Amino acid sequence: MNILGIESSCDDTSAAVLTAEGIKSNVIASQSIHLKFGGVVPELASRAHQKTITQTVNQALKEAELSLDEVDAVAVTQGPGLLGSLLVGTCFAKGLSLSRNIPLIGINHMDAHIYANFIDHSPEFPLVALTVSGGHTQLVHVQSAFEHEIIGQTRDDAAGEAFDKIGKLLGLPYPAGPHMDRLAKDGDPKFHKFPQALLQEGLDFSFSGLKTSVLYYLQDKEEDWIQEHMNDICASVSFAIAEVLVKKLKRAIKKTGVKTVLLAGGVSANSMLREKSEKMAREMGVQLFSPKISYCTDNAAMIAITGKMKAEAGQFDDLDMVPYASL
């Protein structure tokens, strides 16, 4: 099947085409309008999606050298995400489904982050996925395709949210995660010991205390001192977050007995998290898979591959399908 994937859950409008040869295009239109606000403004995001979705889909089809007549199914993010943004994508996909008489496939955005690993790899079930993004931090036990059990999740801030909020305290541009990762590479991760919450407790996460700790740590520091030690602070924060994530992942592997582990979500692009996860996987003798950096953040390629898997399982939706912000 030739599948058109559409992603519009937050502030990136994306379209991708998947054929029998694999991903043929993956176009992402990012929204710069949110930079001056230091975060995503939902109303502005949905308006920007409306302006760009047609051009984004057309560009994806052009790069894939495919016409709309050759599309066999359209897969679209159903949730979770910003409701206004989701509505733009789902309404557009429904229009294509109705006008072209092609099947519609609603996709759970968090499922898609996990199955982004299947674009270039063939992980074996059962497995544990560490899904880390701006809105979610989850440990998911995946018995088989779409048979999921969340065995650990954040009780407050997600890891990506912590990166962004701490980055804002440091005066870094939004989104701060990639900037902190780049600066951390030249810093000392043991410069300051920030708290690692719930480290000895189960599989749940908590990152709000880390954010507060950084706030108090910076209160009596001069701006020049912060700039001088920016790399070390970023490295210390990254270490605190990555350490918790990997130790919880290790605990989840022991609890479930799986031999396959996936990293997923935007924060899975973090270099310190990848290094620590790779070391842990070697020590435990498990297989670790990570998506290409371009498939870590929100993108339609992950929607298309998940749509392919659902289509193969005969899981289609009708035009009554509606988006859910908290799917």
Region for residue 101 given its phi and psi (left: phi exceeds 0; alpha: psi -120 to 50; beta: otherwise): left
Is residue 98, in this structure, part of any structural domain at all?
A: yes
Is there a binding annotation on residue 156? no
Residue 260 shares a structural domain with residue 308: no
Q: Check pLDDT > 90 for residue 110.
A: yes
Is there a binding annotation on residue 12? no
Sheet containing 73-79: order of strands: 22-30, 12-19, 3-7, 73-79, 104-108
Is there a binding annotation on residue 69? no
Is there a binding annotation on residue 212? no
- pLDDT tens string 124-176: 999 999 999 888 999 999 999 999 999 999 999 999 999 999 999 999 998 89
Complete DSSP assignment for 87-119 = HHHHHHHHHHHHHHT--EEEEEHHHHHHHGGGT
Is there a binding annotation on residue 109? yes
Is there a binding annotation on residue 131? yes
State the DSSP code for 124: P
- Half-sphere exposure of 261 toward its Cβ, with a 13 Å CA cutoff? 29
Contact 23, 120 (CB under 8 A): no
Q: Where do we find the tokens 């996709």? A: 107
Residue 214 shares a structural domain with residue 103: no
Residue 146 shares a structural domain with residue 109: no
Q: How many CB atoms lie within 10 A of CB 148?
A: 17
Instruction: Kindly state the helix (H) or strand (E) to which residue 47 belongs, with its residue range.
Output: helix 42-64
Residue 8 shares a structural domain with residue 148: no
pTM of the prediction? Answer: 0.94
Q: Check pLDDT > 80 for residue 281.
A: yes
Residue 306 shares a structural domain with residue 267: no
Is there a binding annotation on residue 298? yes
- The pLDDT confidence band at residue 34, using thresholds 50, 70 and 90, is low
Q: How many CB atoms lie within 10 A of CB 228?
A: 12
Residue 137 shares a structural domain with residue 242: yes
Domain of residue 279 covers 123-290
Is there a binding annotation on residue 133? yes
What is the pLDDT of the chain when averaged over all its residues?
95
Q: How far apart are CA 142 and CA 256, in angstroms?
A: 10
Q: Check pLDDT > 90 for residue 20.
A: yes
Is residue 66, in this structure, part of any structural domain at all?
A: yes
Domain with residue 217: its CATH number is: 3.30.420.40
Pairing of strands 104-108, 73-79: parallel
Look up residue 156 and give its two tokens.
């407050």
Residue 170 shares a structural domain with residue 278: yes
Is there a binding annotation on residue 135? yes
- pLDDT tens string 56-70: 999 999 999 999 999
Instruction: Please give the pLDDT value at position 212.
Output: 95
Is there a binding annotation on residue 188? no
Of 295, 279, 257, 256, the closest CA to residue 114 belongs to: 295
Residue 164 shares a structural domain with residue 98: no
Residue 200 shares a structural domain with residue 163: yes
